[in-house]
Chains A and B, each alone.
Chain A
Amino acid sequence: MTVMQKKAENPVAHLSARDIEDLGLELDAIRAQVIASRGEHDAAYIRRVIDAQRKLDLASRAVLLFSLFPPAWALGTAGLSVAKILENMEIGHNIMHGQWDWMRDPKIHSTTWEWDNASPADMWKHSHNELHHTYTNVIGKDNDLGYGIMRVDEDQRWMPFYLGQPLWNFINACLFEYGIAAYDLEIAKNWAGRKDNAEFQRQRKAVLGKIRKQMTKDYLVHPLLSGPSALTTLGANLTANLVRNLWTHSVIMCGHFPEGVQTFAKKSIEGETRGEWYLRQMLGSANISGGKLTHLMTGNLSFQIEHHLYPDLPSNRYAEIAPKVQELFERYGLTYVTGSLPRQVGSAWKKVIRLSLPNGFLANLKSARRPVRVAAPAADASGAGRPFMERIAA
C-alpha cells in the first residue's frame, strides 16, 4: 500500500487499498469487453480513415500545384493541414501504440508504421509508449511534464529560466514536430553526459535523415512540381505544417496540463499495483469534450483518460467506453477532468504562465494589494494546485 491513501487532503483519501484493487478489476472488465468485441467493424474503420486521409493528402497536393490562384491555395492548404493532422493523430499515434496490431496486417502495424513527423517512429515509440505511458505524470520520470523546458507543476523547482516559459511554450508549439524529435533524442540528457554517445550519434543521424526526407518532400519536390506556383506551394506546405504543429501541441497540452490534473512523486510508484497504476492514469489525465469531429481530429486523445487507461485499445472504441469510465469516477468519488477545447487550452496556458513565476507569487502580489483577504486565497493557491503524492512522499 502506498502512502496516498493515508493523507486526509488528497483526492483518494476515501479509498481503501481494497477499493483501489476493486476499481482495477472493474477497469479490467471494461477492457476485456472491448477486446472480446473487436472485429470487422473496427478494422473497416481504420482502413476507411487511412484511405480517406491518403486521398485527401493527394487531392490537396494536386490542388496546390495551382496554388498561384488564391482559392486553390486556401483549399489545398486547408486540406493538407487536415490530412497531416489526421495522419499524426488518429492514424500514426494510434497505430504506433499497437491499437491495430490485432488485425495482423503488416501494413497497419506498430512495428512497420512510419509517420509524417520529424521524429522517427521507433524513437517516438520508446519515449512515448515506454516512458510517458508507464511513468505518466511522475515528476522526474515522465519527461512529457513540461518537456524538460517548462515548469508545469508547483513541485518542480522554480528557476529564473522559467520566467520565459510562455515564450518557450509558444515556440515549441510552432515547431512542435522538431521539439518532439529533440525531446525523443534526449538532447538535454546527452548534454549532461548521461547518455551513451554512440547511441546518441546513431539516433541523431536517424532524426536528421528523417527531417531531410520530410523537408525535401514538402519544401523542395512538391514546390518544384508546382512550376510557376512553386513559392505559393512552399508557403502552403509551411502553413500546413505550422497548423498541424499548433493543433497537435494544443491537444497534447490538454491531456495532462490543465488545472485539476494530478502529478505524482517518484517514490509513490514503487511497488505500485495494477489498481494503483489505473488510479494514477485516471487522475493524471484530462479529456476534451466535443462532437465526433473533435474526437476524430484529436485522434481520440479527447478521451485522454480512456486512452491512458487503455493505450492499446482501438481509438474508435474510446467514445463507447467513456460513459462507463465516467460512471466509475463518480462511484469511486473521483474527479473526471474534462472541458471544451478552448477551455482546456486556456487552462493549460494559464498554468504555464502562472508557474513561470515562483509559487504563490501572484497570490502574494494580490495579498499585498488587498491585505484584508490574506488568509483564504493564499491557502487556496498553495493548497488546491499542489499534488497530493508529492507532498506525501517528500
Chain B
Amino acid sequence: MTTVLPAYAPWRTATSALRDGAARFAQLVATPLVPADYLDLVSPLRSGAELRGRIVAVQPETLNAATVVIKPGRGWRGHVPGQYVRIGVDVEGVRQWRAYSLTSPAGRPDGCITITVKAMPDGVVSNHLVHEAQPGTIIQLDQARGEFTLQDARPDRVLFVTAGSGITPVMGMLRDRGDQLADVVVIHSAPTQEDVIFGAELRWLAATGRIRLIERHTDADGMLDVAELDELVPDLASREIWACGPTGLLDALEQHVQAAGLAGRLHTERFRPTVLVTGEGGTVTFSGSGTVVQAAGDTPLLAAGEAAGVLMPSGCRMGICFGCVVPLREGAVRDLRTGELTTAAPGDGVLIQTCVSSAAGTCDIDL
C-alpha cells in the first residue's frame, strides 16, 4: 500500500508556512494596531483589504439623478446585472450605508462598476451622491447581492415594468444581455420626459429596434393602471416579467399577474419597506457597548442604535439586504412590515434585521 504525495506539496507547505510567519511577524511590528492599518495609508484598494472603492466620476443623468462610476478594490468578485451593492459613504462625517442597483454590465473593460442614484427628498445619501460626491473619494463597498437577475434564463419574450429609479437594475440587464434577448418590451413610468433616467439610451435602443419602449409620463397621462397591460402588451401571457418600482405598482402587478395565472413568471425588486404595524417600544440594551436607550414603537432598532452612537451594521434600510442582522440575546421585537413578533430567551441569539424591527418590550441586543 503506497501513497503518492504530489510533488509540489513540500513547496506549498513551505510557502504557506512562510506566509503565515510573515503575517505573524507583521502583527508583532504593528501592535497594538494591525498591519492593515498601515497598509491602508498607502493602498486602500489593495487585494486583501476590506472591500472599498474609489469614485471615478459622477455623471448627471437627469436634474436629480446621477450615475456614480466606482473603481472597486481588488477584492471585488463581480456582479450579475440586476443585483445591488451596499455602499458606505461618509456624509457630513457620518458613515451611512445604503444599497443601490448596479447599472453597469458585468465585466466592464476598465474594471469599474456604476450605480445610478435618484436624489430623494430628505435623502441624506442620495442627495450627497447626486449633488456633492467628488471623484477620488474612497467609499466602503460590499459584494454584489440580490436575486433580481435574468439568471441563466434566456426567455424569448421579456417584459420589464419599471417606474422612477426602478429602471436602474433593468438598465444593468439591458446593457449586459440586451443583445441576447430576442423580444423585449419596456414599460417605464416617470413624471415627465425629462425625468426619465437613461431616457436617451432607452429611446436609442427603441429606435434601433432592440426593444419596444412604452414611456408613461405620469404628470400628463396619469399613473399606469395594470389593467391597461393586456392592451399595451397583448402577448403578456407569453412573457417573463421583471418589475421594479414603487410598492403600489408592484402590489397591483402581483395581483394582476396572479389573477391571470402567471404568478411564477413575475420577478420583483422592492425599494421601500411596507410598514404595516408599529411595535410597543421599550428599553433596548446594546450589551456589547453597554448602551441603553428608550426606543419608540415606530422606530427601527437600527435608527435607535445609531442615534445613541452604537456601531450598527446597516445596508438597504428596507429589509432586503440583511446587512444589518445582529443577534437578539433576549426580549421581543416586532417586524414593522408584517407585524410578526420575534422573541428570544437568554442563549437564543435570534438573528434579527434591525432596519425593519422595532422594540416590542425590553430587548438586549448583542452589539
Whether A98 pairs with B90 at a CB distance below 8 angstroms is: no
Known contacts A40-B92, A103-B95; A214/B28 CB under 8 A: no
Chain B contact patch, size range: 20 to 34
A54-B38, A101-B309 known; A39 vs B92 contact (CB < 8 Å): yes
Name B309's contact: one of A55, A98, A115, A210 (CB within 8 Å). Answer: A98
Q: Knowing A40-B92, A43-B93, A114-B33 are in contact, say whether A221-B309 is a contact too (CB < 8 A).
A: no
A-side contacts of B288, CB under 8 Å: 111
Shortest Cβ distance from B34 into A: residue = A114
A42 proximal to B (CB < 8 A) = yes
Specify which chain A residues have a CB less than 8 angstroms from the CB of B289 in the assembled complex.
Answer: 110-111
A343 to B109, CA, bound (A): 66
Inter-chain contact B90/A43, CB cutoff 8 Å: yes
Q: Name A54's contact: one of B41, B93, B94 (CB within 8 Å).
A: B41
Q: Indicate if the CB atoms of A214 and B311 lie closer than 8 Å.
A: no
A216 in contact with B41 given A101-B311, A112-B311 (CB within 8 Å)? no
Q: Are B95 and A58 in contact (CB under 8 A)?
A: no
Contact indicator B28/A39 (Cβ below 8 Å): no
The residue that A104 contacts in the complex, of B29, B32, B306, with Cβ under 8 A, is B306
A91-145, CB < 8 A from B: 98, 101-107, 109-112, 114-116
Interfacial residues of chain B within 1-54, with CB under 8 A of chain A in the complex: 25, 28-29, 31-33, 37-38, 41
**Measured CA separation A39–B96 after assembly (Å):** 13
Residues of B within 8 A of A210 (CB): 32
Contact A109 B311 (CB under 8 A): yes
B209 to chain A, nearest CB (A): 48
Residue of B nearest to A37 (CB): B92
CB of B25 to closest CB in A, whole Å? 8
Question: A111, B311: Cβ atoms under 8 Å?
Answer: yes
- For the complex, give the distance between the alpha carbons of A297 and B31 in Å: 22
Residues of chain A lying within 8 A (CB to CB) of residue B93: 38-44, 102-103
By beta carbon, the residue of chain A nearest B307 is: A102
Residue from the set A107, A214, A216 with the largest chain B CB neighbour count within 10 Å = A107
A315 CB to closest chain B CB (Å) equals 14
A221/B38 in contact, CB under 8 A: no
The prevalent SS among residues of A at the interface is: helix
The minimal Cβ–Cβ distance linking A148 to chain B, given in whole angstroms, is 25
Complexed CA–CA distance, A76 and B41 (Å) = 20
A213 lies within 8 A of chain B by Cβ = yes
**B29 contacts A221, C-beta separation under 8 Å:** yes
Instruction: Choose one: A40, A51, A221, A225; the contact of B90 (CB below 8 Å).
Output: A40
Please determine whether A102 and B94 come into contact, CB atoms closer than 8 angstroms: yes
Q: Is the C-beta of A222 less than 8 angstroms from some C-beta in chain B? A: yes
Residues of B within 8 A of A205 (CB): none
Q: Mark B81-97, 1 if CB is under 8 A from A, else 0.
A: 00000000010111110
Complex CA distance for A202 and B40, rounded to whole angstroms:
33
Q: Kindly report which residue of chain A lies nearest to residue B90, judged by CB atoms.
A: A43
CB-defined contacts of A101 to chain B, threshold 8 Å: 309, 311
- Expressed in whole angstroms, the Cα–Cα distance for A106 and B309 within the complex equals 11
A41 to B288, CA, bound (A): 29
Shortest CB-to-CB span from B228 to chain A, Å, is 45
A7 CB-CB contact with B under 8 Å: no
Cβ-based interface call for A217 (8 A):
yes
Q: A122 vs B41: C-alpha distance in the bound complex, in angstroms? A: 26
- List which B166-221 residues lie within 8 A (CB) of chain A: none
Residue of A nearest to B91 (CB): A40
Q: Which residue of B lies closest to A213 (CB)?
A: B31
- Determine the distance from Cα of A38 to Cα of B309 in the docked complex, in whole angstroms: 13
Smallest distance from the beta carbon of A5 to chain B beta carbons, Å? 32
With most chain A CB atoms within 10 A of its CB, the pick from B38, B94, B289, B306 is B94
Beyond contacts A43-B90, A54-B33: 5 other A-B pairs, Cβ-Cβ < 8 A, are: A39-B92, A44-B93, A104-B95, A111-B311, A217-B28
Q: Could you list some 28 contacts between A and B, CB below 8 A?
A: A38-B93, A40-B90, A41-B93, A43-B93, A43-B94, A44-B93, A54-B38, A54-B41, A102-B94, A102-B309, A103-B95, A104-B94, A104-B96, A105-B95, A106-B311, A107-B37, A111-B311, A112-B311, A115-B32, A116-B32, A210-B32, A213-B31, A213-B32, A216-B31, A217-B28, A217-B29, A217-B31, A221-B25
3 shortest A-B CB distances, which residue pairs?
A43-B93, A104-B95, A39-B92
Chain B interface residues (CB < 8 Å from chain A): 25, 28-29, 31-33, 37-38, 41, 90, 92-96, 288-289, 306, 309, 311-312
Residue ranges of A at the interface with B (Cβ–Cβ < 8 Å): 38-44, 51, 54-55, 58, 98, 101-107, 109-112, 114-116, 210, 213-214, 216-217, 221-222, 225
